[in-house]
Amino acid sequence: MVKLKSKREIGFVRESARIVAEVLELIGHHAKPGVTTKELDEIAEQFIRSHKAEPAFKGYGRKDNPFPATLCTSIDDEVVHGIPGGRTLKGGEILSVDVGVRKNGYYGDGARSFRIGKVSDEKERLLKVTEESLRKGIEQAVAGNHIEDISHAIQQHVESNGFSVVRDLVGHGVGKQLHEEPSVPNFGSPGRGPAIANGMTLAIEPMVNAGGWEVRFLADGWTVVTLDGQPSAHFEHTIAVIDGKPEILTR
Domains in the chain (CATH in brackets) are 7-248 (3.90.230.10)
pLDDT at 226: 98
pLDDT tens digits, 138-158: 999 999 999 999 999 999 999
DSSP-based three-state secondary structure for 128: helix
Q: Is 77 helix (H, G, I), strand (E, B) or coil?
A: coil
Rounded Cα–Cα distance for residues 201 and 157 (Å): 23
| Beta bridge mates, 240 | 201, 247
- Residues 234, 98: contact at Cβ < 8 Å? yes
Nearest in space to 98 (alpha carbons), one of 219, 224, 183, 227: 224
Annotation: binding site for substrate:
81, 179
Neighbours of 235 (CB within 10 A): 23
Annotated binding site for a divalent metal cation: 98, 109, 172, 205, 236
**pLDDT class of 9 with cuts at 50, 70, 90:** very high
| pLDDT for residue 176 | 98
Burial 8-44 (b: 16+ CB within 10 A, else e): ebbebbbbbbbbbbebbeebeeebeeebebbbbbebb
The 10s digit of each residue's pLDDT in 213-229 is: 999 999 999 999 999 99
In this predicted structure, what is the pLDDT of residue 152? 98
The tens digit of pLDDT for each residue in 85-135 reads: 999 999 999 999 999 999 999 999 999 999 999 999 999 999 999 999 999
Instruction: State the average pLDDT over residues 177-199.
Output: 98
pLDDT at 23: 98
Say what the pLDDT of residue 10 is. 98
Radius of gyration of the chain (CA): 17
Q: Where are the beta strands (DSSP E) in 116-235?
A: 164-165, 171-173, 180-184, 201-204, 207-209, 215-217, 224-226, 232-234
For residue 54, the SS3 value is strand
Query: Nearest CA to 171 among 191, 156, 158, 188?
Result: 188
Closest CA to 20 of 58, 59, 60, 47: 47
What is the rounded average pLDDT of the residues 47-69?
Answer: 97
pTM flag (> 0.85): yes
Task: Summarize the confidence of residues 228-236 as an average pLDDT.
Answer: 99
Q: Which amino acid is residue 16, in one-letter code? A: S
- Known binding-site positions: 81, 98, 109, 172, 179, 205, 236
Exposed/middle/buried for 125, CB within 10 Å: 0-12, 13-18, 19+?
A: middle
The confidence score (pLDDT) of residue 12 equals 98
| Distance between CA atoms of residues 177 and 202, nearest Å | 12
Residue-level pLDDT at 48: 98
What percent of the chain has pLDDT above 70?
A: 100
Q: How far, in Å, CA of 149 to CA of 129, rounded?
A: 18
The one-letter code for the residue type at 229 is G
Q: How confident is the model at residue 165 (pLDDT cuts 50, 70, 90)?
A: very high
Average pLDDT over the chain, rounded to an integer: 98
Note the pLDDT of residue 25: 98
Burial category of 233 from C-beta neighbours within 10 Å (exposed 0-12, middle 13-18, buried 19 and up): buried
